[in-house]
Structure 1
Amino acid sequence: MNTTTVDVIDAQTRFLELLSRVIAGDEIVVTQEQKPVARLLPVESTLKPRVAGLHAGLGWVSDDFDDPLPDEFWVSDNETPA
């Protein structure tokens, strides 16, 4: 990781360029009157990698999954099927 120091005024005018460098993995230290006031760092991913087959065999689908639903499912209790 490369670290670059820039003055706050320079950081304002070059923000998009500096942001691109942060996305690429660099660190940017912003200074005001030669004192560090902020640090721009890439955000580390909080996502865990997915594991293929982790839940293999735990799912279940009924044998009649694709069968049409009965008319009673589509009609309220107060109606009769057409």
Structure 2
Amino acid sequence: MKTVSIREAQSRLDELAQDVEQGETVIVTRDGKPVFDLVPHQELPKKKGGIDLDAIQAHLRARGITNPVPYISDDFDDPLPEDFLLRPLP
């Protein structure tokens, strides 16, 4: 694992990219503090629509949650009355 300053990274980007392609991680610092890491790219598994609903359901089932939304009122999405925000708080 290499550590380089941000200025050094700017001037040696091609060389650092080659190191990262070989699997090495490069830590880039500013004023001696880590700012970001250069790491090898990883392909993410392709998902339908970007959300894996099967994985979410399996996660909830594993925690004993069989119905995450037990009740939604029939009028949930009905418009609010005109004076809803004008009423004093109880």
Q: Give the alignment's TM-score, normalised by structure 1.
A: 0.51
**Structure with more relative contact order (C-alpha pairs < 8 Å, separation 6 or more):** 1
Greater share of helix: 2
Show CA shifts across 1:15-71 (max 9, x none).
000000000100000000000001000012446xxxxxxxxxxxxxxxxxxxxxxxx
Query: Structure 1 stretches of 5 or more lacking a match?
Result: 48-82
2:49 is matched with which residue? Answer: none
For 1:38 and 1:28, the matched residues in 2 are separated by 9
The runs of 4+ residues in structure 1 deviating greater than 3 Å are none
The number of residues matched between the two structures is: 46
Residue 15 (structure 1) aligns with: 13
Higher-Rg structure is 1
- CA shift, 1:6, in A, is 0.1
Structure 2 unaligned residues grouped into runs of 5+? 46-90
TM-score, normalised to structure 2, is 0.47
Please state whether the residue corresponding to 1:17 is helix, strand or coil. helix
| Paired position in structure 2 for 1:55 | none
Aligned Cα root-mean-square deviation (Å): 1.5
Identical-residue share of aligned pairs (%): 36
More strand by share: 1
